[in-house]
Structure 1
């Protein structure tokens, strides 16, 4: 199963490292990263594969949401199909 991870917030050192380390610790494979920084505003979309993951999507969503809130970032994790349907409009 593929997932889409989106991160929005003020830019700071270590955002990608934090998310990448969490994903790696649960054997989630990063397939693609696209990021933009404009006037200190960070926006990233990451595509990852959970085929070999050792965590459920629900638990991963909670962990990343809580880690993001702790440093004032909005981090969302969605199943790729849900993401595509929501952004079809």
Structure 2
């Protein structure tokens, strides 16, 4: 079971480390990641395996949102099934 994490904001040192570190703390395994810096803005999408996560999806979402607020980033978490449904052509 996977989830998709998106991160957008001004580029600063340690964004990837902070998000992946939080994932490691809750036992959410990063499966794939893509990131880019465009004109000083950071954008990242991560696919994480949440099947062995030690918190529920709602708690993980709350923790990621709080991390985003602390770092002045927008961080969103969505279950992979919902993400796929929303982006189906």
Superposition deviation, residue 85 in structure 1: 1.3
Provide the C-alpha distance between the structure 1 equivalents of 2:86 and 2:36, rounded to a whole number of angstroms.
21
Question: Which residue in the other structure is 1:42 paired with?
Answer: 42
Question: Which residue in the other structure is 2:20 paired with?
Answer: 20
Provide the C-alpha distance between the structure 2 equivalents of 1:22 and 1:70, rounded to a whole number of angstroms.
13
Task: Find runs of 4+ consecutive structure 1 residues off by over 2 angstroms.
Answer: none
Question: Which residue in the other structure is 2:77 paired with?
Answer: 77
Question: Which residue in the other structure is 1:32 paired with?
Answer: 32
**3-state SS of 2:44 partner:** strand
Question: Which residue in the other structure is 2:2 paired with?
Answer: 2
**TM-score, length of structure 2 as denominator length:** 0.96
Deviations 1:5-50 (A, max 9, x none): 0000101000000011110011111000000111101110000001
* Structure 2: segments with no counterpart, 5+ residues: none
Superposition deviation, residue 71 in structure 1: 1.5
Aligned residue-pair number: 89
